[in-house]
A and B are shown apart, each in its own frame.
Chain A
């Protein structure tokens, strides 16, 4: 059980960490992703990906694009480092629920849009694959929330 817990922490935290670093690097730092017909992706491109889901109000898409990668970075980083494990897994659970709902919404409405799962470098479209991947990640996150390895110790009974 201890090993399962450790592996899940590293895999889930690692995926979130990687996803966040890619998003932040891609939109804030990198200038390398220039193809013949596209331009350097920036935060506005990622915000456009967010807008395309038509889930948050259009005005708030920028705010989501600005803050989401950093929440992912913190939650993933803390989970990998083993700090506030249950809390960071809870944050990831909440994020996964939102992502799944957004992908489900996009699929239900037939939007053929870029997933944006790993920022603008990820050209995959939303689809059943993304839905299943996120489902697995959600299951992992729920496991980490519900089955913390370190059970809180009960307060020792005080003898009179």
Chain B
């Protein structure tokens, strides 16, 4: 019984220390994760415009989901760039891009944050013409637009 009480004490002390450290840390974060920001109009691209970009062949489509989701189905011609593996993959992709290159990032589901995060990362690197297609994969394939399956070559 005493062991349980001590274990609980360790947990509580750890929580207290963590909360205290977060208060004094210059890099503190809010205790509760703020909800994702609703998409801003200037950050998103409408399906029609994305489709035109895709047809013109001038835009780059980046799939922000995992490689397995990409392999299961993706926008035809899209490049797999999972946000989690950005640092690993982007150096190979960067030579293809100019700072003005029109880029469409996408993931899936309305609450998917990956494409937004990819957009933010790319903007931070100076690619200002990047936007994301909200609920991208579902929107694209339910509109009957061309998709492919299989891993990225």
Interface residues of A (CB under 8 A from B): 24, 27-28, 35-39, 42-44, 47, 51-52, 58-63, 65-75, 78, 84, 86-88, 90-91, 94, 110-114, 123, 125, 145
> Bound state CA distance, A106 and B10, in angstroms?
28
- Count B-side interface residues using an 8 Å CB cutoff: 40
**B14 interface contact, C-beta 8 A:** yes
B residues within 8 A CB of A51? Answer: 33
A66 CB contact (under 8 Å) in B18, B86, B91: B18
A residues within 8 A CB of B41? Answer: none
A112 CB contact (under 8 Å) in B14, B82, B121: B82
A-B contact count (CB 8 A): 114
Q: Is the CB of B27 within 8 A of A27?
A: yes
**B13 interface contact, C-beta 8 A:** yes
Residues 54-71 of B contacting A (Cβ, < 8 Å): 66-69
B18 CB contact (under 8 Å) in A36, A71, A112, A114: A71
Q: Is the CB of A39 within 8 A of B124?
A: yes
**B46 interface contact, C-beta 8 A:** no
A interface: dominant SS = helix
Interface residues of B (CB under 8 A from A): 2-7, 9-11, 13-15, 17-19, 21-22, 25, 27-33, 35, 66-69, 82, 84-87, 90-91, 121, 124-125
B108 to chain A, nearest CB (A): 13
Of A51, A87, A114, A123, most buried by chain B (CB within 10 Å of CB) is: A87
